[in-house]
Amino acid sequence: MDDNFSTRAVHAGEERRKPYGALTTPIVQTSTYTFEDTAEILDFMHRKAAGDLPVRDEYGRYSNPTQSAAERKIAALEGGEQALLFASGMCAITTTMLTLLSGGDHLVMVSGSYRRTREFALTFLSRWGIETTLVPVDEPAALATAIRPTTRLIFSETPTNPYLRVMDLPRMVGIARQHNVTTIVDSTFATPINLRPLEYGVDLVIHSATKYLGGHNDLLAGAVVGSGKILGTIEKTRGVLGGVGNPHDAYLLLRGLKTLDLRVRRQNENGQRVAQFLEGHPAVRRVYYPGLPSHPDYEVARRQMAGFGGVVSFEIEGHGEDEDKTGRFIDLLCLPYIGPTLGGVESIVEQPAALLSLDRAERQAAGIKDNLVRYALGIEDADDLIADLNQALAGI
């Protein structure tokens, strides 16, 4: 990790001298921006048409000063030319795909991607004649075979949810370049602290900024990072579809980004210690964490990642897949909240099988076992987290 990452997280993207002498970037809470006279409007439109940047703000669906500061900071942390902020991570994904895909195109997606991302591709994109092929994250031969003359995008998450599979990015990028295909990586679980996919030649990086980038479970936002050429096209689509983030969430995101390095380093430490504890506990059948040698992608993760993240997934031991026993274990935990998110300062735990509106056969087909637990670790003391896990496991 760069030695100056925390410095960039605090200062990058923000003007040194801010309005009113404020220390933090103000929330510019307005939907529109006024002009002094007609001459100023005409000059603005001329400069905008000519691409003469920077151009002042015009309307809240296109840009906002608070939002722009957050975008510049995220771009600096990921090492991209530009970043765009959206109302949510899914909004970032859908707007990007709708920009880069047309009827008759083909998309290759890693099968372990977030279920709503898969749903958008398989259910919505298919309506417009866009086909999707799902491939396993660990089968480069399958990825190469899936490419067609009409393939325009390869989409992957790394690590994936909930089994934390890690895509070999150099291998994926190599396949994509052979076929002139654009690559997109959802790096929400990794964060730019642990992995910066653009450095491996990936074209676009996406984040659900709701998670680690915000870090406090109090905002919804998404971000796309990449070259100015591609982002300029996506920005036009955002202006049409309207999925722009709001200035108050952008302000909260700016605040969260300043402590990203500190938070994620602590969550990395907690993740490693908790994973090692769980792997040695007799009441735990299996642990999924890329920082463990037992994980199938351990060697890939070691090559690519500076840390292995704050999410640990594991299976409770028992006869068969005991859904009730797993629920009792979760209810015995004292520190984490029960909920369907991750990345914040508070630890959050969930039983994925309980949160999916699927029957058992459908869950099993999707690879979600009844005894699976996903634990998203916060920044609490590791000793306290382990002690709490130990008492809950003893209780079942």
Determine whether 186 is an active site residue.
yes
Contact assessment for residue 83 and residue 267, using Cβ atoms and an 8 Å cutoff? no
Give helix then strand counts, H and E, for the chain.
Answer: 16, 12
Please write down the HEC assignment for all residues of 175-190: HHHHCCCEEEEECCCC
Determine whether 61 is an active site residue.
yes
Instruction: Please name the residues in contact with 111: beta carbons below 8 A apart, sequence gap of 6 or more.
Output: 118, 134, 135, 136, 137
Name the active-site residue from 8, 47, 62, 114: 114
CA distance 230 to 50: 18
CA distance 5 to 195: 13
Query: What structural domains and CATH numbers belong to the chain?
Result: 5-28+64-258 (3.40.640.10), 260-395 (3.90.1150.10)
Name the active-site residue from 105, 168, 186, 249: 186
Name the active-site residue from 165, 196, 211, 238: 211
Closest CA to 370 of 393, 351, 349: 351
CA distance 289 to 311: 8
CA distance 133 to 163: 20
Q: Give the pTM.
A: 0.94
CA distance 84 to 230: 11
From first to last of its 396 residues, the chain has per-residue pLDDT tens of 566 889 999 999 999 999 999 999 999 999 999 999 999 999 999 998 888 766 789 999 999 999 999 999 999 999 999 999 999 999 999 999 999 999 999 999 999 999 999 999 999 999 999 999 999 999 999 999 999 999 999 999 999 999 999 999 999 999 999 999 999 999 999 999 999 999 999 999 999 999 999 999 999 999 999 999 999 999 999 999 999 999 999 999 999 999 999 999 999 999 999 999 999 999 999 999 999 999 999 999 999 999 999 999 999 997 545 678 999 999 999 999 999 999 999 999 999 887 665 656 666 666 778 899 999 999 999 999 999 999 999 999
> Dihedral of CA 127/130/131/137: which sign?
negative
Closest CA to 182 of 102, 79, 274, 249: 102
Determine whether 211 is an active site residue.
yes
Name the active-site residue from 47, 48, 61, 286: 61
Determine whether 138 is an active site residue.
no
